[in-house]
Chains A and B, each alone.
Chain A
C-alpha cells in the first residue's frame, strides 16, 4: 500500500507560512460547518448533514486502525454500536435519576462504552496483526452482534433501546428537539473529535503506530512492544467510534442491533478506503461521498449496494491510495508547474470513460429490472429493459467504451510520466 508516505515527509522543517495555511484549513472547515445549515436549511439536508457528520467521526476513528496502525478490522461497528447503547442507557438513566448531565455530554459516555469494550477484548485481539487480526475482528463482530439478540435486558432484542433526547436537562436553553440543534451538537463533536484524532497522529504514540504498521520488527529492536502499541491504538479507535455511536443514538433516539452488525462495519471500511487511508482528510472525503451516495442512490436504484461494491473494487485495484491519494498525487506536479501538460489527456479520457460507466450502469439496471419491466431512466433517456436495443446499446457502450478508454488511459500514463520526469528534475518529486 502507499500508506508508507503518510505525512512523514511534510512535518520536518515547516516554514512559517505553512502554519498559517494549516490553521486556515481547519478554520475554513469549522466555518463551513457553521454556515452550511444556513445555506441548505431544508429538513432533508439537515438530516443528511447530521448523518455525514457522524459518518466522518466514525471513519476517522477507523483510520486510526487501518491507516495509522495498519490493522484491517471487519468488526469496527462493535464499538460504534456499544457506544450507541451506552449513550442510550446513559440518557435514560439521566432522565430517571434526575442527574444534572445535559445532552452535549452524552457522546462522551458513548465513547467510554466503546473504549470499555476495546480495553477488555483488545488485548487478545491485537496479539496478532495482519490477516489474522482481520479474521479475529470479524469473528468478534459476529459474536457481539449475535449476543446482542440474546442479552435482551441490555440490548432490547430486535426492537432495540429507545430514548428521548429532549427529556434531558437543557443547556443554553437548547432542548435539542429540532434537527438544527442536533446538527450543531454533532458538528461540535465532529470538530472536537477531529482535532483530537489529528493531534493523536502527532503524538509519539501516533508516530510509533506508523512504525508498527510499516515494520513491527524494527519497532521491537528499538525497545517498543508492537502488541502494546496496537492495543493502545485499538483502544483510541474504540473510544472515538463510541463517540460516533453516541452521536448516532442522539440523532435517531434509538440503538438497536443493526448498529453493531457486519453491514455497518463494511460501510465504515468502504468509506475509509474509498476516501484514502494515507492522509488524514481521506476518510472525511470518503465518509461524505459514501453517505451522500447511500442517501442519494437508494431512491434511484434498488441495487445501490452493488455500485458501492464496484466502486470499492475499482479503488482497490486501480487506486489503492483512495480519492485522497489520487488528489495528492498531483501535488508535486502543481508545484513543479507541469500539471497543465497532463490536463488535456484527462479531457480526452472523460468521454470514453463516461461511456464505459454508462454501459456498466445500463447493464446492471437491465438485469435488475428485467423481471419487473420498469423503464431505466439514464440522464433523461428512457430505456426499456426488455428491448434488445437496450441490450445492444449496453454491450456497445461497455465494450466500445472499455476499448477506447484503455487507449486514453495509456495516453494519460504517458503524459503523466513526462510531467513527473520534469517535476523530478526540478526537485519536487522524490
Chain B
C-alpha cells in the first residue's frame, strides 16, 4: 500500500507538472487575448512528433531544443496570420479557428506519421533506473521529466515576477486594454506570448513523448483534460492552473492505480436482481472510472463554485 502511495504520488506530481507546462501557456494566452486556444494540445502533439523525427535525424538533445522552437514558430505564425485576421469577427470565430486548426493538425500528423504509435524511445543516456523503492525501479527519464518541468516552472515564475516583460504580461492578464493605452505594442506582445506558450506545449510534447504514447490521437485525448484544468483552476489564474494541474494529475494517477470497486468494498450485489445500471456502477473498478474523473470534478466545481478554484473573471 505504501509502495502504491509513493509511486503514485511521484507519477501524479509528474503528470501534474506536465499538465501545468501546457495549462500555463493556455492560461496566459487566454487571459491576454481572450482566445481559448483549442489547438494547444495539438502543439503538444506536434512537439512530440517533431521530437521523434529530429531525434531520429540529429539525436535527442538537439531535438529537445529545436522541436520546441519549431513549434513556437508555428504558433507565432498562427497568431500573426490566423488569429489576428480573425480577431475582428469576435472570440467565437477565434475559438472556431483554433478548433479547425486542431482538427487539421491531427489529420496532417496522421497523414505523415500514420495512425499507429511511433517508436519514440527514451534516450540511451537516461535509460536506467534512478533508484529502487519497494522493489520497483523508478526510471531516470521520469526524474529528468520532473526536473525539466520544475526548471521551466521556476524560470516562468522568475520571468513573470522579476522582469519587465513579465510585468507587462501580468498587467495584461487583468487589464489588457490599459496595457495597450500605455503604449506597449500589444500585437507583438501577443505574438510573443502565443509563441512562448506554443513552445512550452511543444517542450512538454518532446519530453512526454518517450514516456507516454506518441500517436496522432494524443492531442484529442489530452485536450479536453487541459480545458478541465483551466476551468477547474479558474480561467485566467496562473496559481489556479498550477493547483488544478497537480490536483487532476494526482487524482487521475491514483484512480488508475486503484483496483477497488463498490463490489469489493461492500460485497457483491444479490445476483438474482439481474444486470442493471446499479450492477454496472457497483462492479466498475476505480481504474475504469479514471478517464471520467476529471470531468466529474468539472461538474462538481461548476455546481459549487462556477468561477473555478481561484478564478475572478467572468469571461
Contacts and interface: CB of A to CB of B under 8 A. Distances in A.
Interface of A: 1-2, 70, 72, 74, 124-125, 127-132, 134-136, 138-140, 142-143, 146-147, 150-154, 262, 266, 269, 273, 303, 305-306, 308-310, 312-313, 316-317, 320, 364, 367-368
Given A151-B277, A308-B103, A309-B107, A124 B235 contact: no
B288 A128 contact: no
Contact of B281 (A1, A132, A151): A151
A289 B129 CA distance: 56
A303 B89 CA distance: 29
B5 interface: no
B103 A312 contact: yes
Contact of A142 (B30, B224, B284, B289): B224
Contact of A139 (B89, B95, B231, B279): B231
A1 B289 contact: no
A127 B224 contact: no
Given A135-B227, A367-B111, A316 B284 contact: no
Given A150-B280, A313-B97, A143 B86 contact: no
A293 to B, nearest CB: 14
Contacts of A70: 92
A interface secondary structure, majority? helix
A317 B86 contact: yes
Interface stretch (B7-15, B59-67, B190-198, B290-298): B290-298
Interface of B: 30, 34, 36, 82, 85-86, 89-93, 95-97, 99-101, 103-104, 107-108, 111-112, 220, 224, 227-228, 230-231, 235, 275-277, 279-281, 284, 288-289, 291-292, 294-296, 298-299, 302-303, 306, 314-315
Contacts of A316: 86, 89, 93, 96-97, 100
Contact of B107 (A74, A140, A143, A305): A305
A88 B52 CA distance: 45
B280 A153 contact: yes
Nearest to B313: A132
Contact of B90 (A1, A125, A306, A364): A1
A154 B284 CA distance: 14
A147 B292 contact: yes
Contact of A135 (B231, B291, B299): B231
6 contacts: A128-B314, A131-B95, A132-B231, A136-B298, A140-B299, A154-B280
B287 to A, nearest CB: 11
A140 B224 CA distance: 10
- The residue in A124, A131, A367 that gathers the most chain B C-beta atoms within 10 A of its C-beta is A131
A172 B228 CA distance: 51
A430 B303 CA distance: 45
A120 B2 CA distance: 41
A127 B306 contact: yes
B100 A1 contact: no
A266 B107 CA distance: 14
Given A130-B91, A132-B231, 18 more contacts: A124-B299, A127-B306, A128-B315, A131-B34, A131-B235, A132-B315, A136-B298, A139-B224, A139-B228, A146-B292, A150-B292, A273-B96, A309-B100, A309-B107, A313-B97, A313-B101, A317-B85, A367-B112
Contacts, number: 133
Contacts of A310: 104
Contacts of A368: 111
Nearest to B105: A309
Q: Which 5 A-B pairs have the closest CB atoms?
A: A309-B104, A143-B295, A306-B107, A313-B100, A309-B103
A41 B108 CA distance: 38
Given A146-B291, A146-B295, A309-B104, A136 B302 contact: yes
A178 to B, nearest CB: 35
Contacts of A2: 89
Nearest to A312: B100
Contact of B96 (A72, A151, A152, A367): A72
Contacts of B224: 138-139, 142, 262
- Select the residue from B85, B95, B295, B315 with max chain A CB neighbours within 10 A: B295
Contacts of B97: 313, 316-317
Nearest to A309: B104
A384 B299 CA distance: 52
A367 to B, nearest CB: 6
Contacts of A150: 280-281, 284, 288-289, 292
A124 B303 contact: yes
Contacts of B86: 316-317, 320
Contacts of A364: 111
A154 B280 CA distance: 9
Nearest to A304: B107
B93 A320 contact: yes
Contacts of A147: 292
B91 A131 contact: yes
Given A124-B302, A135-B227, A262 B100 contact: no
